[in-house]
Amino acid sequence: MTRFQSVAINGNRIFYREAGPKTAPTILLLHGFPTSSHMFRDLIPALANSYHLVAPDMLGFGFSDAPDREQFRYTFESLAKVIGSFTETIGLERYAIYVFDYGAPVGFRLALAHPERVIAIISQNGNAYEEGLSEGWNPIQQYWKEPTEQNRAALRDFLTPEATKVQYLYGVQDATLVAPEAYQLDSALLARSGNDDIQLDLFLDYANNVALYPKFQEYFRAKQPPLLAVWGKNDPFFLPHGAEAYKRDIPSAEVHFYETGHFALETHAQEIAAAIRDFLGRQVKVQTYAA
């Protein structure tokens, strides 16, 4: 059974989903834009008899607090620090990280800060290489180069319900497999007062993630963490080249592609769960627990 909980971190409430025995190896599940821990709703029960799953909502996302921009600076460094404090508060000492989209720069910052805590990495359309960025990033990259109000306003189209739905359906072979409540929930949460500017701040700050790619890659080369890439190969934002690039720095990295889009768990949760079981079963000692 998945438990729905929250904990206070520096005065802000972090909502999280938790399942599986706490004595089992932990997987920290880190969501991306514009979603939340809700994206892991099918993966969590598929793994919970062997693993301890923890999926927090980052500040400004899902059911966690979204403090005013004057009270909290929305950068990926800030988000990572909150998630780092979250892991310490709930007592996570060592864990694998499952990183998706925004979850990648957050998770990789955790690994840079405390490499001894990260026992393995599962990257699902979570990028760390410039060749993984598609032309879909061009408007955002233009905003990085010229952070004008005009370029900021141009990015508001990414925050519409139509754009969110497209993110879920683009590249999917069978759209009837994608639950409509997924993109409708994301759209409803994006529509909260002030959330548009939170997301635009993060669009601007994403440039700092790209600037850190060399450090992420240096960490991969130096520490050689066990890494599995499970990738929706029709992702309009993060290209398959970004998945293959992991093998350049971690020769033992394993890469699996699926005939789907950005939100691969919507259509391939069971296949990805099987790949994770196989991968982690060879990397960490796992006991199967009664459901």
Catalytic residue list: 262
Torsion over CA of 212, 120, 10 and 128, rounded to 10 degrees? Answer: 20
Of 47, 28, 108, 45, whose CA–CA distance to 281 is shortest?
A: 47
- How far is 101 from 123, CA to CA, in rounded Å? 9
- Give Dmax (Cα) for the chain: 56
User: Is 197 within 8 Å of 72 (Cβ atoms)?
Assistant: no
At CA 109, angle to CA 103 and CA 112, rounded to 5?
A: 140
Number of alpha carbons in the 13 Å side-chain half-sphere of residue 273: 19
Residue 248: which region, alpha, beta or left (left: phi > 0; alpha: psi -120 to 50)? Answer: alpha
